[in-house]
Structures are given as C-alpha cells and as structure tokens.
Structure 1
Amino acid sequence: MPKSAPLEVIEWYEKHCPSAKYDLVASSVSAISLADLLDISESRKESEDNVGLNSIKLDEKEHSAGSVEFRRNLAALYSALSGGVSQDDIVITNGGSASHYTVFYSLLAPGDHLICQHPVDELLYKIPASQGVEVTLWETEPAKKWQLDIEELKRLIKDNTKMIVIQSPCDPTGAIVPRPTLEALVQVAEEKGILLLADETFRPLFHSILPSSEDFPPSTINMGYRKAVVIGAVSKAYSLAAIRAGWIASKDKAIIDACKQTRRYTSMSASKLDDAVAVEAVSDRCIHALLGRNIRLTQTNLELLQEFIDSHSWACSWVRPLAGTTALLKFHKMGKPVDDETFCSKLLEQASLLICPARKCFGESRKLRGYVRVAFGGSTPELKAALEAWSQFMEESYESVPTLAIQN
C-alpha cells in the first residue's frame, strides 16, 4: 500500500496558525454560537427544545445510515427543486473528511483509475492515491477561469477509469461547474458507466451567481445519473466548523449500502451532540436565515478583497470567485511570478498574516507559480484589519520578495 502523502494545507496551517494574528487560511464562514443559532430560528422555543443539553439522550440507538431527522432534513434540501431524493439515499458521517474516506474506500480498489479536477481540496486525490488507486489530475487553467474542459476529460479516460471527481464550489479557486458543463460531464460518465463524485461541501454558498443564471448548477445528485455521489458537510457554508457532521448522498442503493458497510468500520454512530446542532441548522426553522447571513457576509467580504486587488493591481490579479469562501491571487514583479512560499513566510513574519502558498499546498504545478490561496469567509472586521496589514506590507516590504525564474 502506498504511503500517504502529507496534507500540505493542514500541515501549513497547524505549523503557522499559532503565530498568526490574522487568519486567512481557515475556509469556514465566520462561526456562530448556539445562542446565534437560536436567535435566527423562526421558532425559538422549538429550536431550544431540540438542541437543549438537558433533553439529548446520550445513547447509541441510531439507524445504520445515521440520524433519521438529519437525513430527512437533507433530503428536503436536495428535493426542493427536484424531487426524488429520500432519507434512504443519504448516509451520515463524522464530518467531511470521513465522507471522503468512506466513499473512496467503499467504491475503489488498488489498480482502479480515477480522474480528479485540479486544483481542488487535496483530500480528493491524496486519499485514493494512498490506497493504490491510479490518479490523473484533470487540470484547469486561470486563463479559462478555472473551468473544466470536457474534451480533455475524454482524452484522460482509460479502460480502468472507475471514478471522476469534481468539487463545486471549488476550494481553492471559488469556481463552479456550470450547468452546461455538468450536463456534458454527466453524459460522458453515463456513456462509460463511470462513477461521478461531486464534493459539494461549500454548496449552497453561491454569492456571485443567481439561481436564474443558465450557468447556475443544480446539485449533481439531481442530474438524473444514478451513479452520481455527492458529499456535503455543515462545517463550511453553515458556519459550524467545530461540528463533525457530514453526509454522502446517492440514488444508487448499491453505493449507499457499500458506504454503510464502510461506515461500520469507522464509527457505528455519529455524535449525538453534533447531530443535534446540525439537524437544527439545516431545519426549515434556521437554514434560510443562516444561509442568508452567510451569503451577505461573503458578498461584503468579497468586495473588500476586490478593493485590495484593485489597489495593488500593479502586483496582483485574480479570477474573481463565484461561490465558496476561497480565491487564488497571483502576485508578480517585473513580469515574473513571486516565490509564493517565501512571500507567505515573509507576510507571516512581518505582518502576522497567514495565507497559503498555492504551489506547496495544492501541487507543484507550473500554473500555480506565484499564486496564494486566500480565505475570505471570516468576520468582516477581522478581514478589514488583515487587508490593512497586508497593504502596509505591500508598501514597505513587497520589494524584498524574490521572484521565480520564467519557464518556457
């Protein structure tokens, strides 16, 4: 079995976060408290009863797929615009990472081939690689707004291709897979009988595209392909980073049964405390106000980031994200990309500001030279302060940041 590769984003964060005053790495939307959740509820008394510690019985009696109420609430979200998703199509896990592991270990075996969109959350290609799966990265380009190329996908497919993996909204680019592209992707997967996994952890945080747009993507589970699998969690779009509650959804019973079997090896049941909070957050009582709050916050913060980029256009540029909480910024000097890791280290040392170097954290790729990944889902006052510190660094110290040699 191949050795697991380091998870660079997590290791970078664990190493440097304790010394940072400003954190622009953590990708969850600004966290809420239980009091905040109760305040936004449309029925506070009912919400208080559901999340009250005195009323939660700490037993292990749970359905093999996880909390019935949690699965019922999630099914209602998927079925709001397209019917057919039931609680039986969903398996609850102990967070997003547990969902990744469960899907890959349930559906793939050593020698299988997987095609993964890139750049994306590194778990999506490093977990399968660690279990002996052959991984091919389906590269996206900033010049094409980080969009997927279906013709390139067709060239990457092999006889042993078992799964195609996408992330929409995407971390780190903030790109989405538009509906027309998703339709074409489903057609390719269906023609070849290939599993399609969509990480939708940042859904439905669509801050810069309207549902009325022809590009607005439905959930992949609602695209009519039975071999589609989607992953979600409450940690990002729902402001519950400390709650370990995720899920896997598919209309294929064999897929769900396989995931249930793997889940038994990792955890017979989810935390009752985490489950109670997650159930309430995605209930009709709370979800509309919570998502409204988070979309407004990311829209406000995105404009602050746009102002920073406009003020420093002599040094940086970006493809403005459409969804999620992250973006890739490219920094350059005299036509050359900066050494992004040294840039991030200097920014931490001199401004106490933490961001991610893209080449180190998302793969040593030519297209990521000079790029840094920024998370903008935190509180607005904290982001303002961080950008002020960054601006001061740009004025006083950016000249000291080395560049990388131009590659032909």
Structure 2
Amino acid sequence: MQIAKFGVEDWLNVWENDAVYDIAGSSIASMTLEEIIDLSKITKEEFTNELFAKKMNYGWIEGSPEFKDEVCKLYKNIKPNQVLQTNGATGANFLAIFGLIEPNDHVISMYPTYQQLVDIPRALGANVDLWNIQEENEWLPSLDDLRKLIKPNTKMICINNANNPTGSLMDELYLKELVEIANSVGAYVLCDEVYKPFIKDINIPSIVDLYDKGIATNSLSKTYSVAGVRVGWVVANDEVSNIYRKIRDYTMICAGVFDDYLATLVLKNKEAILKRNEKIVLENLEIVKEWLKKEPLVSLKIPNNVSTSFIKINIPNPNDIEDMCIDLLKEKGVLLVPGNRFDMPGYARLGYCTHKETLEKGLAELSNYLRKYDK
C-alpha cells in the first residue's frame, strides 16, 4: 500500500517547534487541565480522587457508557451502540474509509479538504474524483458539479463541514440536496465534523441526522480545545457500525481510561466550554477583520465563525508561497501553513483562534514582513 505524504502534518512536524507566533493551527486556543476543571462541575480534589481510583486496565473497549451517552446527545436519534471511540478524528476517518472502500470503488472527495479524505481512498485502490471548492462560491463546491461527477457505482462522497482549510460551511439546505444526490445511487456520505460553527440561532445538522447512509466523525481537538486528549468517535447506522466494530479490533483496543474520563468530563460540560470558545472565535475574528483593513497584500473570504481560515497573499509568484512561509518563520517567528500543502499556491492557512496575544503579535509581524513586497 502506497500513500502520499501528509502535506500539512509534514509541514508542522518540521516547522512548528520553531514558531514564536503559531498562527497555523486550526484548534481553538487549547485549554490547560486546570481550565477544564474550572469550567466543570467538579473540584480539583474530586477530579484527583476520581483519577487516583482508576484501575489501569484497558477500561471500556469502545468507550465508556458515560462517554457514549454524552456523544449521543450531540445527535438527534443516535443510540450508544452506533458510537465507536477512536484515536482522535484521524482514527475515526481512517476507520470510516478503510471499513467500506475497496479497490476500484468510485469515491468523490471535496477538495481541498483534510487530506485523509482523499489519499486514504486512493491508497486503498479507489478511483477518486475531486469535487473542487470555488472561491467565488464562498469556498463551497458546486452541487451541479457533484451531479456531473456522481456515477451509478459511486460508493462514498467525502466532505468536511466546516471545511479545512477555508472555514466554508454547508448549511442544512445544501446538505439535504447533497444527500438527495448521494441517495440517488445509494452512496455513503462521510462527513468530518470537527469544526463546529459558532453562529447564533443556526444549527447545522450532522450528516447522520439527515441520511441513513451518513457517517459522522468528530473529536475533542478543534471545537472543544482539548487536542491533548486523543479521543474522537465515528457514528453510523447499525450495519456500518458493526463493520467498523470488527475492523477497529485490529487498529486499537481502547483510548485509555484517563483519556476516556477526561473526554467524558469535557462533553458533560460542553456548554461552558463552547461559551468560552465562542467568545474566542468572535473576538479573534474581529481582530482579523481589523487587520485586513490595514493590510493591502492579504485578502480573505471570512470563515463562518469556525476556527480555520484561508488567506490569499499577494506575492509576485504564488508558487513561492512555501519559501515565503519558511522565510517568514525564520525572520519573524510567524508560522502559517502554506497553501501549496493544499494544492493552493498563493494562499495560507491562518489559524486565528489561538490565544489573543499570539494572534495580535503574529499578525503584526506578518504585516512587517510583507512590507518587502510593497511596490
């Protein structure tokens, strides 16, 4: 099995430890363990006592009943047996694709997107068509284009909502039309849903709440600010969940009793954590908007109140974006993800939901660096 190098992770593995101002990531400012406890309905003493009492066995293989119950609350009609705990959303995506895709299957993948959704099916021998996002369409792909790509033998459509890296968002009407297209040939729809939008009074439904052959993956890394807890999950119908259950035994036994406990604690107190994170997203987005007014060489389709964005940087040769980002890091300590890692030269992923001081200083240093391109 041959698989492409993971562009974004390869970039971050090499460069992120050199950053003074890391504005490349797509999580919302990570919480400390102390912050998690403070936002939870538990004291530090109670928390410590709970941990000290944990037996260091394998724990619950598929995730504890408490964890599964909390995940079910994120959906409308999901039962605990449809929830499988995974090693982050990366583990969930791998399981979701590996469990269903075989050589010569036809897969359609939104593009660019999280690279797993394209290159895992390719590595498994599938024929993958790219469903390209369009900047002029608020970074959404055209549903008419999807109708042209769909085939009688299409096995799966892969999307992430909101999109990484652009922050574009498929609303309920869009998703329903997508489901109608998928259902016309009986295709699965895999949706990586790690980026929850913080839009008041608008609820973007999960794909599993719209479609029986929908498959949802998620984790605590982005919206919940706890990437250090390597817990994610995959949710699907009973038939598909049983396929995943069998394959999962070959890839992991459990997430670990400590991680399961912390993940459950976070989900039990999600309202307080989401309130904290909504404030960060909205305030930091305003910082970015004000910065854009003063920065002539950068433009941005404003993301839909999610934690990732994709800026366009007007340099003489867009294909030089990676060299520019390396030079920016070495000269100013500012880390971005160059757009060529998404096959989009001339752009860069800006993770604006880092801590406020890091964002402000990082943007200021980015502007200082860009003055060398002024005419």
Correspondences of 1:145-294 after superposition (within 5 Å): 145-203=138-196, 206-207=197-198, 209-212=199-202, 216-223=203-210, 225-250=211-236, 252-283=237-268, 286-294=269-277
Preserved CA contact (<8 Å) 1:163 1:197? yes
Preserved CA contact (<8 Å) 2:103 2:124? yes
Q: Does 1:321 align with 2:303?
A: yes
Preserved CA contact (<8 Å) 1:116 1:135? yes
Match of 2:52 in 1: 54
Compared CA separation, residues 247 and 39, structure 1 to 2 (3 A): same
Deviation at 1:384, TM superposition (A): 1.0
Match of 2:38 in 1: 39
Preserved CA contact (<8 Å) 1:94 1:271? no
Count of aligned pairs: 375
Q: Which moved more, 1:368-377 or 1:163-172?
A: 368-377
SS in 2 for 1:226: coil
Supply the AA of the counterpart residue of 2:185. K
5+ residue gaps in structure 2? none
Compared CA separation, residues 317 and 61, structure 1 to 2 (3 A): closer
Preserved CA contact (<8 Å) 2:27 2:354? yes
Supply the AA of the counterpart residue of 2:348. V
SS in 2 for 1:52: helix
Supply the AA of the counterpart residue of 1:343. M
Preserved CA contact (<8 Å) 1:115 1:165? yes
Preserved CA contact (<8 Å) 2:19 2:334? yes
Q: Does 1:398 align with 2:373?
A: yes
Compared CA separation, residues 176 and 47, structure 1 to 2 (3 A): farther
Q: Does 1:118 align with 2:107?
A: no
Q: TM-score, normalised by structure 2?
A: 0.95
SS in 2 for 1:124: helix
Deviation at 1:195, TM superposition (A): 0.4
Deviation at 1:146, TM superposition (A): 0.8
Correspondences of 1:124-135 after superposition (within 5 Å): 124-135=117-128
Percent identity over the alignment is 29
Q: Does 1:66 align with 2:66?
A: no
Preserved CA contact (<8 Å) 2:336 2:349? yes
Q: Does 1:377 align with 2:353?
A: yes
Preserved CA contact (<8 Å) 2:84 2:235? yes
Supply the AA of the counterpart residue of 2:254. S
Deviation at 1:179, TM superposition (A): 1.2
Preserved CA contact (<8 Å) 1:116 1:166? yes
Supply the AA of the counterpart residue of 2:214. A
SS in 1 for 2:24: coil
CA offsets 1:229-248 (integer angstroms, 9 cap, x no match): 00000011111111110000
SS in 2 for 1:339: helix
Match of 2:75 in 1: 78
Deviation at 1:47, TM superposition (A): 9.2
CA distance in structure 1 between the partners assigned to 2:8 and 2:354 by the alignment = 18
Deviation at 1:342, TM superposition (A): 2.4
Compared CA separation, residues 391 and 22, structure 1 to 2 (3 A): same
CA distance in structure 1 between the partners assigned to 2:68 and 2:201 by the alignment = 24
Preserved CA contact (<8 Å) 1:50 1:276? no
Match of 2:3 in 1: 4
SS in 1 for 2:29: coil
5+ residue gaps in structure 1? 401-408
Preserved CA contact (<8 Å) 1:116 1:137? yes
CA offsets 1:58-115 (integer angstroms, 9 cap, x no match): 222425x322111111101213xxxx21212211111111111111111111111110
